[in-house]
């Protein structure tokens, strides 16, 4: 493989650094046309790579034609930050005794940490153009990479089903508001859902499958469409609640925390905010592989994380404080506000906005990861669309509403899998940034040659597993054992730092590493 780089400026590692001429745009017509096009020879495997490791969905993206500019990345966060689950978590902080300025501080601290972590993860995708399962080959090997891919995919596919169910609950509210005569369809039960519940779930399930079947470019466009809608909707709900409370809100509850207990809760909340995004931090490269420059990643993250999260915290404070001022109670989520809207037309608009939001969050946070996992496991038989359908079917067959209603499953299964993400992140980040210092031989990520840079021993880097296992055990103990409840929120950080430290101690830090871009085997970024 040639070690030469393409035309244009490069960074110190030889990676192309094309200037982003339109950081807030979605691409000029010429770029959009390239993105809609496919590789010159679809289905063919380039010379020097293995068909067991390569297909058009796993291949690196060409630098020309990337459309995930700063606005596209910003709208990812405009949707995800304002998810219903995040509002439930944040409003819960008000109920637990944190006041307005404490909530703002907690989210600001969490946002700063997230901004730094997401830039580190995002730069990897922008530089290499590869999705998360392929990125994992750097540290875990061409075969060992299945471990982090499966863990990430399993967490995501379960939450895909759960989030689809939560959106279907809002759709049921909307349907009954428009057609009260359908109420009898909501009184029976089959496998845990009423007839109306099944219809609502299947409609939203099908909508998401259709969107994803058109690939990452369609997801980008949907996120760009949904982002402004949810920002305006949440602002409108906050204004409505503020007016309903006669222009005054409570800045804290009667049981507000003070002293050391308050500060512990602030830092716990900031840490938990990062843990919530532990899944996304891990596979953010699935999206930034379509970013034209690091500047796009930084700008999108800056406006989408710290700025947007401060706006989110302000909305939480107004919604919670206004309701508390009105009747001394704390709402549980924005759905409570929507259900109380007396005007049917406004109720319908708000429900539609929440459905649009939940679908947007689900597509980016929970649908993309299992798709790439399946494509990675079966590259010769599954493309993006087939993997999407299989992921969606799994998300249906697990009957996610039953999972959601089982605290045991949520805490011990999904919580346990989530605790494993910190150690995985630590190993991958330590390998890329500390060990290799960003020098990646992209073509060798697709080579099964025993002499390949990521062949290790039988395709598995045993030292990555040795570093990850004890860190995972510690993270699981902290996350799941009741005696460690006070520090459970920090399990992700402990696992990440511990695995990174062990990895750097046992790996050869003086081995030669090579920086080779993947343009020779890259495909146009239509996915």
Q: Structure tokens of 470?
A: 């004890």
Residue 413 pLDDT class (50, 70, 90 cuts): low
Q: Please report which confidence band the pLDDT of residue 23 belongs to, taking 50, 70 and 90 as the band edges.
A: very low
Q: Indicate whether 20 pLDDT > 90.
A: no
* φ, ψ (nearest 5 deg) of residue 236: -65, -40
Q: What is the DSSP-derived secondary structure letter of residue 436? A: S
CA distances from 435 to 121, 246, 432, 503 (A): 15, 58, 6, 9
For 205-229, what is the mean pLDDT?
92
Q: What is the mean pLDDT of the chain?
A: 86
* pTM of the predicted model as reported, rounded to 2 decimal places: 0.85
pLDDT at 366: 87
Q: Is the pLDDT of residue 33 over 60?
A: no
DSSP structural state of residue 442:
G
Distance CA 64, CA 523 (A): 10
- Number of residues that this document lists for the chain: 527
Which structure tokens are listed for 314?
Answer: 């302000």
For 81, phi then psi, to 5°, come to: -60, -35
More confident position, 515 or 333: 515
């Amino acid at each position: 493989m040639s070690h030469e780089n393409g035309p244009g400026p490069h960074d110190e590692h030889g990676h192309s650094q094309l200037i982003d001429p339109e950081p807030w745009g979605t691409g000029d017509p010429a770029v959009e046309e390239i993105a809609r096009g496919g590789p010159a020879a679809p289905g063919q495997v380039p010379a020097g790579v293995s068909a067991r490791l390569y297909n058009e969905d796993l291949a690196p993206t060409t630098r020309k034609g990337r459309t995930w500019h700063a606005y596209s990345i910003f709208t990812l966060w405009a949707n995800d930050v304002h998810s219903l689950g995040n509002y439930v978590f944040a409003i819960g902080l008000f109920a637990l005794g944190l006041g307005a300025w404490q909530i703002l501080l907690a989210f600001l601290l969490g946002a700063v940490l997230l901004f730094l972590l997401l830039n580190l993860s995002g730069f990897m995708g922008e530089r290499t153009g590869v999705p998360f399962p392929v990125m994992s080959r750097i540290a875990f090997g061409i075969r060992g990479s299945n471990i982090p891919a499966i863990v990430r995919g399993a967490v995501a596919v379960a939450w895909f089903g759960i989030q689809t169910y939560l959106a279907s609950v809002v759709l049921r509210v909307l349907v009954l508001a428009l057609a009260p005569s359908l109420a009898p369809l909501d009184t029976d039960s089959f496998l845990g859902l009423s007839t109306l519940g099944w219809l609502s779930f299947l409609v939203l399930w099908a909508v998401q499958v259709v969107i994803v079947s058109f690939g990452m470019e369609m997801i980008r466009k949907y996120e760009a469409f949904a982002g402004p809608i949810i920002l305006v909707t949440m602002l409108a709900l906050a204004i409505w609640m503020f007016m309903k409370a006669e222009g005054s809100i409570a800045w804290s509850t009667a049981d507000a925390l003070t002293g050391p207990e308050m500060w512990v809760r602030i830092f716990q909340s900031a840490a938990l905010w990062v843990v919530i995004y532990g899944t996304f931090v891990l596979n953010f490269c699935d999206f930034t592989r379509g970013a034209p420059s690091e500047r796009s990643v930084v700008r999108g993250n800056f406006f989408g994380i710290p700025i947007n999260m401060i706006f989110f915290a302000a909305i939480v404070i107004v919604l919670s404080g206004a309701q508390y001022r009105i009747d001394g109670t704390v709402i549980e989520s924005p759905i409570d506000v929507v259900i109380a809207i007396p005007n049917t037309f406004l109720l319908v608009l708000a429900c539609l906005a929440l459905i649009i939001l939940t679908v947007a969050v689900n597509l980016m946070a929970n649908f993309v990861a299992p798709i790439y996992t399946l494509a990675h496991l079966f590259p010769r038989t599954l493309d993006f669309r087939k993997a999407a359908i299989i992921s969606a079917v799994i998300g249906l067959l697990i009957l996610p509403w039953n999972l959601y209603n089982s605290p045991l499953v949520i805490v011990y299964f999904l919580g346990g899998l989530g605790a494993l993400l910190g150690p995985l992140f630590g190993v991958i980040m330590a390998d890329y940034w500390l060990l290799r210092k960003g020098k990646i031989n992209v073509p060798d990520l697709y080579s099964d040659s025993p002499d390949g840079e990521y062949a290790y021993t039988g395709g598995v880097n045993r030292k990555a597993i040795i570093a990850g296992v004890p860190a995972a055990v510690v993270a699981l103990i902290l996350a799941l054992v009741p005696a460690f409840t006070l520090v459970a929120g920090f399990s992700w950080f402990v696992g990440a730092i511990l695995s990174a430290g062990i990895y750097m101690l046992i790996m050869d830090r003086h081995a030669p590493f090579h920086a080779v871009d993947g343009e020779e085997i890259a495909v146009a970024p239509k996915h």
